[in-house]
Amino acid sequence: MEESIHDFEKPSLTADIVIFTIEGGELKVLLVKRNISPFKGGWAFPGGFVRIDESLEDAAKRELEEEAGVRDVYLEQLFSFGEPKRDPRGRVVTVAYMALVNSEGIELKAATDVSDAKWFSIKDVPSLAFDHKEILEYSLKRLKWKFEYTTVAFSLLPKKFAISEVQKIYEMVFNKSFDKRNFSKKIISLGILKEEGLRKNVSHRPPMLYSLKKNVGDIVEII
Amino acid sequence: MEESIHDFEKPSLTADIVIFTIEGGELKVLLVKRNISPFKGGWAFPGGFVRIDESLEDAAKRELEEEAGVRDVYLEQLFSFGEPKRDPRGRVVTVAYMALVNSEGIELKAATDVSDAKWFSIKDVPSLAFDHKEILEYSLKRLKWKFEYTTVAFSLLPKKFAISEVQKIYEMVFNKSFDKRNFSKKIISLGILKEEGLRKNVSHRPPMLYSLKKNVGDIVEII
DNA sequence: TGAATAGTGTCTTTCAGACAATATGCC
DNA sequence: GGCATATTGTCTGAAAGACACTATTCA
């Protein structure tokens, strides 16, 4: 006999989001300060309960807008975390998402920011509430993977960017440096970039700016 | 003010599993026939409600044993599906898993099988209940990805296997054929296999058998 | 002309991919 | 010997990686 939908006590369901951005030449994540128990005063990823009539992705998008003031950014489901004891309040399963926000989006965010939220460099993340450390580690692994095999990196950059900026974010994520000549050769040979003219108002040789071509398939081997 | 765990109606939570195996030279998945509404009489992936005190992975393992009679097999969380209307009974979010069972495990399964479950060739899957077609497509994408970059393929083979058997399952999953010389050159050069002597009782030249070395890291570029 | 960053070419090595002949075991 | 399958090597072309000098803009 098949089990009924009413036979079991239900866990609560939340969506948590690891929001990455580049700021001041560093890879950062957004954390919010918890103002109630448990982990009161501790830092955690933005998140909240999934409403009964919204999809998981919609919940993530709602949180993204409520807590970071951004929309229409790269968003990807990562993993669901459901250890029975992960939340002291009771059984709470969370669906973790990862979002990539570019440095243009972040200006908007700063204006909208009313909560106690703060960007932390990935090298300087405080201890986190719940199992959010595990979520962070998972997200970093996924980010590297995605950087290697897809064009998500460009989601962290403004529409027009210089090759050296692309290289910088790759060096940040992989935590190693690449040869300038080989890197630009590789990126340009992919055929996914469009020239957008020279950058203005810099006090040195201005770099060519590029944008990501429309309709570039998601999967391209990058590095 | 932070939201309370009691403020929201909770969705039901299930775990569904796409169980892959190789049988008769074909890649197959296990489907169970639904004997109650909705989709009564239809085929779906094995699955069930996550108990309030078990982890997501434990729920998947339990289903795996209850419905397929296997344990200690390769198991990986795929994705959580949570469209509000995906289940006509109400709000049900499912965490999809993928399991890989080798042809030795499958013999056990046949003995334990008491439910109306059946293995379907991937080329011959009937129409599926709920959004299980989407789950199947997702799992096939993930399977290819994993075959390309990790050693999961060996989970579909018995402990000792011939190179030609490895090649066959790669050809199945990628749906194309590889050159025998290049394939074995590549697989052997990875340094992840141990020779186990010749196969016995075959009426032609016997192949060398190999096993996967212990402690082989998960990620190795295969193809 | 000095400071700062951009842009570019060659060589070597490695790896993927095309390609076919010989070896072994059993009947 | 015939059948069935296993095993093995070479060549070519493409891409990765090492490596350093010249170009441009502005102050």
pLDDT (0 to 100) of residue B179? 97
Question: Chain A residues with CB inside 8 Å of B55's CB?
Answer: 82-84
Residue predicted with more confidence, B13 or A68: B13
What is the amino acid identity at position B106?
I
Instruction: Identify the pLDDT of residue B168.
Output: 96
Beta-carbon contacts of A50 under 8 Å, excluding residues fewer than 6 positions away, are A13, A14, A15, A56, A59, A95, B8, B11, B82, B93
Q: Compute the distance between CA of residue B215 and CA of residue A192 in angstroms, rounded to an integer.
A: 39
- CA–C1' distance B190–C14 (Å)? 15
pLDDT > 90: percent of chain B = 79
A176 touches strand C (CB under 7 A): no
Tell me whether residues A77 and B80 touch, CB distance under 8 A.
yes
Task: Please give the pLDDT value at position A112.
Answer: 54
Quote the pLDDT of residue B79. Answer: 98
Which token pair is A149? 């095999």
pLDDT for residue A114? 53
Selecting from A34, A52, A92 the residue whose C-beta is nearest the C-beta of B9 gives A52
Give yes or no for a cis peptide into B38 (omega within 30° of 0): yes
Q: Answer yes or no: is A194 CB < 7 A from strand D.
A: no
Express each pLDDT in B51-101 by its tens digit: 999 999 999 999 999 988 898 999 999 999 999 999 999 999 999 999 999
**Do residues B86 and B129 touch, judged by C-beta distance below 8 A?**
no
Mutation choice for B interface testing from A56, A98, A134, A218 by most B CBs within 10 A: A56
A157 and chain B in contact, CB less than 8 A: no
pLDDT for position B7: 78
Region at A24 (left for phi over 0; alpha for psi -120 to 50; beta for the rest):
left
Q: What is the distance in angstroms measured between the alpha-carbon CA of B188 and the sugar C1' of C15?
A: 14
Q: Which residue of B4, B6, B13 to mutate against A (max A Cβ within 10 Å)?
A: B13
- State whether residue B59 is helix, strand or coil: helix
B9–A11 C-beta distance less than 8 A? no
Predicted pLDDT at B115: 62
How far is Cα A67 from Cα A111, in angstroms, rounded to an integer?
12
E strand map for chain B? 12-23, 26-33, 43-44, 47-49, 74-81, 92-101, 117-121, 161-162, 193-198, 208-212
pLDDT, position A108:
56
The reported pLDDT for the residue numbered B82 is 98
Q: Tell me the pLDDT tens digit for each residue of B124-161.
A: 999 999 999 999 999 999 999 999 999 999 999 999 99
* Binary contact (B10, A10; C-beta < 8 A): yes
The mean predicted confidence, pLDDT, of chain B is: 92
Instruction: State what percent of residues in chain B have pLDDT above 70.
Output: 94
Query: Which residues lie closer than 8 Å to A134 by C-beta, 6 or more apart?
Result: A81
Q: Give dist(CA A137, CA A141) in Å, integer.
A: 6
Q: Given an 8 Å threshold on Cβ–Cβ distance, is A92 in contact with B49? A: no
**Residue located via tokens 């990807």:** A76
What local confidence, expressed as pLDDT, does residue A120 receive?
A: 95
Provide the pLDDT for residue B37. Answer: 85
- Please report, in tens digits, the pLDDT of each residue of chain A (223 residues total): 467 777 789 999 999 999 999 998 899 999 999 988 899 999 999 999 999 999 999 999 999 998 888 989 999 999 999 999 999 999 999 999 999 999 777 765 655 545 688 999 999 999 999 999 999 999 999 999 999 999 999 999 999 999 999 999 999 999 999 999 999 999 999 999 999 999 999 999 999 999 999 988 776 788 7
- pLDDT value for A25: 86
- State whether B79 and A84 contact (CB < 8 Å): no
